[in-house]
A and B are shown apart, each in its own frame.
Chain A
Amino acid sequence: MSKQRLWPEFTAEMKKTHTILIPDMASIHFELIKNVFLNCGYKAELLTSTDQSIIDKGLKYVHNDTCFPALLVIGQIMDALHSGKYDLNRVALIMPQTGGGCRASNYIHLLRRALKADGLGHIPVISISYGIEKHSGFKLTLPLVRRGLAALVYGDILMLLSNQTRPYEVKPGESDALVQSWVERLSELMRQGEAYSRRDMAKWLDNIAASFAAIERTPRDVVKVGIVGEIYMKYSPLGNNHLEKFLASQGCEVMVPGLLGFLLYCAVNGVVNIELYGGAWLNRSIRTTAVNILLSYEDMLIKAVEKQEIFTAPWPHKKLFREGTKIIGPGCKMGEGWLLTAEMVELIHHGYRNIVCAQPFACLPNHIVGKGMIRRLRELYGANIVAIDYDPGATRVNQENRIKLMLAVAREEKDGLKVHSGRPVSI
């Protein structure tokens, strides 16, 4: 295809002059990743605002039928650009681009369209992708990739363990404080060039797991709920109306599968593609190597968690793949693809049989891998799954009502049907 560039590049000079604004998704991970950027010589800032004006801006600048995540991310960016806080000649933006067959690969273009409509077409948008776009000022160098990977793994373990600790903590707020202190400490360590080599990481992951295990706990009667979904809806409180917080307020322990799983899923798809449709041996072995590197990171995380008996460790990705693809084909790779189904299977097996599947209204892959698979999972495992649609028009009361219904069924399954006792009579 013609490679004529229709967008401004992020040049090497800009690295020194421009502040990169990063839209938030999973706050623990993204705080760490922002620090990695800083450590690698970029100026960067994480956009954390959750004002209503974000949705308004999104509606204004993005086709309203576009998925909600695009609307929010672009809304958040436009909101920041309009805030007056930034020199509009010295900011850059960043967005991941997987190049998959779903609309998400086009978010970056929707953003550029919005910028253009607003007369801000000169602001460069960096694409983090596997070679779809090139920017001379931004390269996925080895140090950046290694630190970035470490940040993801740390983010995953902090999210996993804090979720498994928070509902039981004796001193309220202790888990969150611990997360915060680790984020600061790990960022500082990485700045000093530590904590991202394989050996360092194993040590720090062990320390993290031990520190959460040390938090004083008390048994509580909770409903175990898993969250899966479109990646942004799954993690972002802005997107899912603070789903985790809501579930916590309803007496739930939540499990949210990590981001490393998504990265692995993307990498594995490269290999599966060649298996299904054919391809060069060399290409295949490069992709397999990438998978193996990621697996070694995952392995460290699992080992660290398993050392503490009270915690449930995620399945190794190979098992996740094996079990998930019993339900859905491995070639299903758009959006969250087979991973979403596989995560539901995993959650059910870990005892999180009650699942919220969060998706943007009319998310195409979710018709298949989310809603399309629920019936089978229910038949096979008796799982209690509710699919919740998010969009600018859907109201929180509707969403929460549906989740409450799912929780009522969960409690009945756990404790039996509870009715105020008395003699049954006809009325």
Chain B
Amino acid sequence: MRIGLDVGSTTLKCVVVDDNQKIIYRQYRRHLSQIAEKAADMLEEIMAELPGLASCPVCISGSAGMGLAEALDIPFTQEVYATRIAVGRLQPDFDTVIELGGEDAKILFLTGAMEVRMNGSCAGGTGAFIDQMATLLGISTDDMNELASRSGRVHSIASRCGVFAKSDIQALLNQGTTREDIAASIFYAVVNQAVAGLAQGREIKGNVLYLGGPLTFLPQLRLAFDKVLGVTGFCPENSLYYVAYGSALTPELPCLDLRKTAGKIRRYGSVSGYRQSEPLFASMEEYNSFLERHSKSKIAVDARLTPSKRAWIGIDAGSTTVKCVAINEDGEIIFSRYTANSGNPVPLVKGFLTEFYEEFPDAIVAGATSTGYGEEIIKNAFSLDMGVVETIAHFTAARAFDPEVDFIIDIGGQDIKCFKIRNGAIDNIFLNEACSSGCGSFLQSFAGALGYSPAEFAALGLFAKAPVDLGSRCTVFMNSSVKQAQKDGADLSCISAGLSISVVKNALYKVIRVARPSDLGEHIVVQGGTFMSDAVLRSFELETGRRVTRPTIAGLMGAYGAALYAKENGLLGSTILGPAELRNFKHQVRTANCGGCTNNCRLTVNIFDGGRRYISGNRCERPLTGKAPGERLNLYEYKLQLLSEYRPVPGHRGIIGIPMGLNMYEMLPFWHRFFTALGFEVRTSPESTRQTYFLGQHTIPSDTVCYPAKLIHGHICQLLESGCDAIFYPCLSYNFDEGLGDNHYNCPVVAYYPEVIANNVHALDDKKFIYDYIGIHRPRDFPKKIQAILAKYFPEIPLKEIKKAAKLAYAENDAFLAKVRAKGKEILATARSQGMPVIVLAGRPYHLDPEINHGIDELICDIGAAVISEDSVSDMVDPFPTTVLNQWTYHARMYAAAKFIVENGDPDVNLVQLVSFGCGVDAVTTDEVRSILEDGGRIYTQIKIDEITNLGAVRIRIRSLLAAVKHKKGSGENVKTAALA
């Protein structure tokens, strides 16, 4: 008899195998992080079930079992390898195994060159991810499966990690997408994650075996895999126990005494050996004085109407909660609601209003404002008077508690927002980038997974003796950090405290990036639902060394601010639906495709009674106004238009294909002119779409590279089908020298991505793929060098001809840039003469791609500003010293553009920096652009983009920026500020 014990991240599995290698006993259960106890229980149950079995070989496997096995000197088998052993024994005819676990995803390729893969450290598309999504929807995973089986349409959800996916799902929910479709979309996101993260260029085909919990329990997930892979996979009997079985079959295992082993494992649970932080509270007295201090920041929450009977309503439809507040003439709260938002905020708000009218039948609603993610839909649904950007709402509320407030930090469900206030205006805004958001809801999911309410779970940590130090990175990593701490014996209270501390560290060091707490300010107001936890609040005070104000209504501040905002705007009569109208309230959701242009946006149309409508999913205003974008002041649009004019011209030398991605967004004029002049027809790959990405997904070797690079794979695949004689995608270490910096490199990805393509896109092996190293930065040497390169692929071309073509190419490049710059200046002048604000949307040339920028340029235009690009103003400043080594051509333009903003001095011309997720170079450049702007007293705004398509957060940033600019101007204050952080 042999025992295999599989200690996974969320579950324990064990098997007992007899001498014929037959499973005679098996057990599967969630361990709820009490690994040692539950594992010991399991062994003891085995002894009870199989009397007479006192000692036998035992082997542990599983991601959370390694530390246990090592510390106790029990044999260990790596879990993927255990699967490999089990499959070799039980299902030798299978080619590929896909195994999803709690936090791991694995693919084993067994035939041909054997390969085994596990998900990298940044990959959440696993069982825990599905659990997290189910929690978000407020259903069980079985319900999710059930819903998915009735889905009609799959939406695209970012699949890289749970945090991104959550933003997308939230957006879909807020738009009224059906839960059926969302459930199915989540499963497809998991599949895409597995394929993108694990296949790494190897195609999944043949007989596919599905193993592990999620694939066993969720038939719809299996179906999604089948559909995406084009196979019919098989989920065998005992699909949960392959790892345990494989570890039981590990050769050369010693016999262990089971009773002693169980005892050893149980005792291991009490050993403490993880990284610790200081306790939150040393004593009950300390806690009480803390509570005492914070109870002072309060306002009435059950006040009465004043004699005027006037009331103002504020509604904050956030990502995970809906908050509603009504205030009286004195600014006191008369009625409020804080409810979890499990998808659709509309019925929640309707419920609130109904109750309010019942409770205050004689109230006269003088004004009503909505804010938050659901601002638009709520405003339309209930016919509110105005919407206000979240940041302003929070500031308005904070001022009511501390008129001198100079720093506000709000940690909500999935946002961290903080801003500095200077001279009564919002001066500096920090919103969490997509990668570290979700902190509050992370705590919530974590508590839920362990069977606690968020409040109970947080309270557990208050008096923890040795909180776990979990670091301050993205929450996806925190799952594994927690796993490690559990392995090292941290109990629940220490994990709870540790999570609260890490939320705070994330906010301070990841989002705001403070070096010293004095940078934050003197009068700090904290708010948002997450700060309702005493543990989080205490961590914040300990970490910053400041005493802060937490209004007793910390969770309601957005709504309270919105109500105050309505009041401060002097509203005396509201258009809000009255009690009668509310009774007839109807809400229908319909989907449609907008035929307005080639984008073919999928629209979600919310129809309310009385013909009020709210449409979402649109990229432009056309479906709303019925009008074309028309003459918008958008240089991004103009540049795209210019590029689209480089059409193929038939030539005698052959057809050259160019992938439209990365630097080709800038180099196309050059290469098009060059090759066309030589008599080549130049074909470009079609405009990027989400489909382009999926097309090349299976050939991407590194799942953490930036999205623009990933798209190239799809473009190459498209070119392969386009009948080109050769594909031209050269390596370029150097870019043109524009004289702006110390050097003129491309970033490593732009420079050398062709090498990745050559070595990972199999279909290129028998195709002419020109990816040589070319020096465009040396125009004099260029013709000779390129002549030799082209001669490798085509009959030699006379140097004279090449020289002529090169001359034309360089001229074309100059002309293109000149046109862009002229147009940029024209837009700048036109906009300013019309009093319109201007945003310099500073990115890289490939940020022009609408699939990469997700239409941010159009969004800015919709908000009412003009958009120009960094390269259109980078020539308007003299070279200047930077504190960093200024060595990349594209980035030098951004520094110059920032300098331009400062020197130009017009407060209505501002810079917004676009950053692709995973762009390592931008870790350097963002800090520099920020300091150039802030040293010049200007506001820095950064937008991180990836596969995400949720523009809600972007809208908030841009609106906050414009509101801050307006406020600054209004207060007549010179725009001179000190830099923060």
Chain A positions within 8 Å of B, measured between CB atoms, are 1-4, 6, 52, 55, 59-61, 63-67, 97, 99, 101-103, 105-106, 108-110, 112-114, 117-118, 132, 273, 276-279, 327-335, 361-369, 371-376, 378-379, 382, 389, 391-402, 404-405, 407-409, 412, 417-427
Contact = CB atoms under 8 A, between A and B. Distances in A.
Contacts of A378: 113, 115
B254 interface: no
Interface string B496-529: 0000000001000110010110000000000000
A102 B885 CA distance: 11
A114 B927 CA distance: 11
Given A103-B921, A389-B122, 16 more contacts: A1-B879, A63-B926, A64-B510, A97-B885, A99-B887, A101-B745, A101-B746, A332-B751, A334-B733, A371-B701, A376-B760, A395-B121, A397-B63, A398-B480, A408-B81, A427-B21
Q: What 4 A-B pairs are tightest by C-beta distance, nearest first?
A: A278-B781, A277-B775, A393-B473, A331-B773
Contacts of A108: 885
Given A61-B515, A332-B755, A106 B748 contact: no
Nearest to B502: A393
Nearest to A394: B121
B749 interface: yes
B924 A63 contact: yes
B777 A395 contact: no
Contacts of B772: 329
Nearest to B276: A52
Nearest to B236: A427
A304 to B, nearest CB: 35
Given A278-B780, A278-B785, A372 B509 contact: no
B88 interface: yes
A372 B760 contact: yes
Given A106-B885, A420-B249, A372 B731 contact: no
Given A397-B67, A401-B78, A420 B888 contact: no
B251 A419 contact: yes
A103 B920 contact: yes
Contacts of A65: 920, 922-923
A401 B63 contact: yes
A42 to B, nearest CB: 25
Contacts of B21: 420, 422-425, 427
Contact of A397 (B122, B480, B759): B480
B173 interface: no
Given A361-B121, A408-B77, A368 B2 contact: no
Interface residues of B, number: 111
B481 A362 contact: no
B617 interface: no
A412 B108 CA distance: 14
B747 A367 contact: no
Contacts of B472: 59, 64, 392-393
A417 B82 CA distance: 11
Contacts of A376: 759-760
Nearest to A408: B81
A12 B731 CA distance: 43
15 contacts: A2-B880, A66-B923, A67-B923, A101-B748, A105-B885, A106-B924, A117-B516, A367-B701, A367-B704, A389-B121, A412-B81, A420-B251, A422-B21, A427-B23, A427-B90
A332 B771 CA distance: 12
A116 B760 CA distance: 44
Contacts of B115: 378
Contacts of B509: 59-60, 64
A368 B748 contact: yes
A397 B487 contact: yes
A109 B885 contact: yes
A405 B704 contact: no
B484 A396 contact: yes
A408 B115 CA distance: 11
A66 B924 contact: yes
B883 A109 contact: yes
B265 interface: no
Contact of A419 (B89, B471, B478): B89
B309 interface: no
A230 to B, nearest CB: 11
Contacts, number: 284
A395 B89 CA distance: 32
Given A59-B509, A106-B924, A374-B701, A277 B785 contact: yes
B342 interface: no
A401 B731 CA distance: 36
A420 B2 contact: yes
Contacts of B353: none
A424 B22 CA distance: 9
B752 A409 contact: no
Interface in B874-910: 879-881, 883-888
Contact of B85 (A66, A327, A402, A419): A419
B515 A117 contact: yes
B116 interface: yes
Contacts of B731: 329, 331-332
B883 A112 contact: yes
B78 A404 contact: yes
A382 B113 contact: yes
B784 A278 contact: yes
A367 B705 contact: yes
A401 B120 CA distance: 11
A391 B880 CA distance: 34
Interface in B51-71: 57, 63-64, 66-67
B752 A371 contact: no
Contacts of B756: 367-368, 372
B885 A372 contact: no
Contacts of A276: 773, 775, 785
A80 B465 CA distance: 29
Nearest to B474: A393
A424 B883 CA distance: 68
Contacts of B79: 401
B733 A368 contact: no
A123 to B, nearest CB: 15
A418 B923 CA distance: 47
A145 to B, nearest CB: 23
B702 interface: yes
Contacts of A66: 920, 923-924
Given A329-B731, A364-B749, A371-B701, A427 B251 contact: no
B883 A363 contact: no
B473 A64 contact: yes
B734 interface: yes
B20 A422 contact: yes
A364 B733 contact: no
B942 to A, nearest CB: 11
A73 to B, nearest CB: 15
A118 B251 CA distance: 57
Contacts of B752: 329, 332, 334, 365, 368-369
Nearest to A378: B113
A365 B78 contact: no
Nearest to A2: B881
Contacts of B659: none
Given A64-B513, A278-B784, A368 B749 contact: yes
B201 interface: yes
Contacts of A372: 701-702, 755-756, 759-760
A180 to B, nearest CB: 29
Contacts of B22: 425, 427
A184 B305 CA distance: 85
**Residue from B20, B880, B887 with most neighbouring chain A CB atoms (10 Å):** B887
A63 B923 CA distance: 6
B542 interface: no
A396 to B, nearest CB: 7
A366 B748 CA distance: 9
Contacts of B701: 367, 371-372, 374-375
A101 B201 CA distance: 27
Which of B471, B741, B886 has its CB near the most chain A CB atoms (within 10 A)? B471
